[in-house]
Structure 1
């Protein structure tokens, strides 16, 4: 039987320190009889020494293009832009199946090279629930940035956030936030919508770790339909709701035009400003670590909104370890792709490429 070969591609997206395969997960694969190759990386939160101690093979950054034909190329984020045909099996978040920009060109590269895409976003169980997700850490990071922005806003810092860098650990992040809050004469009241979901539970955990008054809403609290006047009485709103249908908006620009508004910071963890399902139709573009905030309302009572679509990158170590632990269980079944999550992922790829 041919040894299954997994090849970890170095991430090329700027500031992306996360990885789909941690040193601990690599060790599990090796112990199960897999061959594992790790590309050197200038960005990864984990050092090559951490991988080498488990006995993996090391390859140069970007050398996956010349990997053996049977190697399965694993990563998190998009491939570097290019035009050559793709001949390997690839596992990563391709962002192609919802007809995003460049989706046809990418899938054509797979058909030209007879490669396959097993998209991480569509690895689902029998209930169509994703088998691995970064949701908890997205919520945790989104709430953390919201608190950080709120403290700065109280100090009249404009913009309240800029040029954010990742943190080596959640302990360091929490200490910085605690120290900042200790200098403020009050603490914010936080509303988390979607509190029972993956990202919502992370947002709640962050708020409670800082001993903040935390209001948790989920389906029960939102079933009456928005807009919700109660949101105006909060200092921070963290939206973590996954929506796949049109709903009345949670807030509107007209609702925000209220002299008694306390709401000062919104963190939209769900971050879907481009679709029709956006429950916060007060903005129309995502933000970045370099420019995290959109000014919704200026003046004496400002309102700023954070909408970063890769929030778990704020805590690359914890988020990678959590995601890797979820994913490795399924990577261990790659030696038989007729089982588990792989047949459904391959069927989806074939259907999408057939429709080109």
Structure 2
């Protein structure tokens, strides 16, 4: 007898190949008695056949709108824009609780239809830490792009990155990076990286990428930054990777004055945390995010300095990032038969508080 009906909707955001449920995750749920429905998708990094092989029911893309009312709709990114009432329970990153664009219209659709939202961003444990995150792969991908940009800078390629796309897997990416480093004019010279926030999820990913390529990496965290910025050590590295999301007023890690020093070696910055619009931005040297189409923003022209600030870095490695995220989330999906326990009550209470006055 079916335990819970989970419906994986196809992602519609352009180029989004990640998913919240891998075929292996679907198998675990099915073996546990869940009914799993998967929408066919040309974007999903995992082929439809892989879901079919584990006995998931395959249906047409977008058919979740007509799913049985008791089906729980699982996704990753935003719903397609529309205005019909939402009658189902949904699990995905909605980006509405901080009053982002369109928040009121979306939450009103839930209220009109009697549906409920369990926002992935707010599924947290007792310590208010998110139970599933893409952070590790954001750091890994950010560091990878920094190395590729640095290698292209050595060959005077301008811009050093352009119109990048995802890699089939981690091994394909590492091979591409090794080839790029070999093509630099002087193979003896390799970049030195400095990672701030090295003990966090994204910091560990950045450090692991550097070590996979046998690059020198300085691992900074609370102890090294305790004195407060700006940190002159940053300009003596070739690549600086920021993996710290600041939520209080602190001196910046780096300034334009520091970057203007003659002794600067630094030529690539990656802001994995990517919060140029926040009031506590530790890198107040840029004001806009970059994209896969235009990954680099040139900060200094004469003595080259580029910054990469992409807010969906894990999309570079959709396979590994989906497998990792899905595995973290799976433990909690298995408890959906009793949403009075675990992470679900807090997420539902938050939803109710955000919709009560609509």
Residue 69 of structure 1 aligns to a residue whose secondary structure is coil
> What is the match of residue 78 of structure 1?
78
Cα distance in 1, alignment partners of residues 2 and 33 from structure 2: 10
Cα distance in 2, alignment partners of residues 82 and 58 from structure 1: 24
Cα distance in 1, alignment partners of residues 357 and 45 from structure 2: 38
Cα distance in 2, alignment partners of residues 109 and 157 from structure 1: 49
Cα distance in 2, alignment partners of residues 45 and 180 from structure 1: 25
> What is the match of residue 334 of structure 1?
336
> What is the match of residue 127 of structure 2?
127
Q: CA deviation at 1:34?
A: 0.7
Cα distance in 2, alignment partners of residues 88 and 284 from structure 1: 38
> What is the match of residue 271 of structure 2?
268
Q: CA deviation at 1:355?
A: 4.5
> What is the match of residue 212 of structure 1?
215
* Aligned pairs for 1:300-315 within 5 A: 301-315=303-317
* Aligned pairs for 1:234-273 within 5 A: 234-273=237-276
Residue 145 of structure 2 aligns to a residue whose secondary structure is helix
Question: Could you list the runs of 5+ residues in structure 2 that have no partner in the other structure?
Answer: none
What TM-score does the superposition give when structure 2 sets the normalisation length?
A: 0.97
1:255-305 per-position Cα deviation (integer Å, ceiling 9, x unaligned): 211122111000100011111121111111111111111111112x11100
Q: CA deviation at 1:2?
A: 6.7
> What is the match of residue 321 of structure 2?
319
Q: 1:223 aligns with which of 226, 238, 244?
A: 226
Cα distance in 1, alignment partners of residues 39 and 280 from structure 2: 39
> What is the match of residue 36 of structure 1?
36
Residue 237 of structure 1 aligns to a residue whose secondary structure is strand
Q: Decide whether aligned partners of structure 1 residues 113 and 147 sit closer, same or farther in structure 2, where only a CA change above 3 A counts.
A: same
Q: 2:287 aligns with which of 284, 288, 299?
A: 284
1:186-214 per-position Cα deviation (integer Å, ceiling 9, x unaligned): 11110000000000000000001111110
Question: Could you list the runs of 5+ residues in structure 1 that have no partner in the other structure?
Answer: none
CA RMSD of aligned residues (A): 1.0
Cα distance in 2, alignment partners of residues 102 and 154 from structure 1: 44
Residue 58 of structure 2 aligns to a residue whose secondary structure is strand
Cα distance in 2, alignment partners of residues 346 and 200 from structure 1: 31
* Aligned pairs for 1:89-108 within 5 A: 89-108=89-108
1:161-180 per-position Cα deviation (integer Å, ceiling 9, x unaligned): 01111001111110111111
> What is the match of residue 58 of structure 1?
58
Q: CA deviation at 1:3?
A: 3.5
Residue 6 of structure 2 aligns to a residue whose secondary structure is strand
Cα distance in 1, alignment partners of residues 66 and 3 from structure 2: 18
What TM-score does the superposition give when structure 1 sets the normalisation length?
A: 0.98
Q: CA deviation at 1:242?
A: 2.4
> What is the match of residue 179 of structure 2?
179
1:203 aligns with 2:203: no
> What is the match of residue 233 of structure 1?
236
> What is the match of residue 345 of structure 2?
343
Q: Is the Cα contact below 8 Å between 2:266 and 2:305 reproduced in 1?
A: yes
Cα distance in 1, alignment partners of residues 30 and 254 from structure 2: 51
Cα distance in 2, alignment partners of residues 315 and 224 from structure 1: 35
1:217-264 per-position Cα deviation (integer Å, ceiling 9, x unaligned): 001111111111111101100110122212111011122111221110
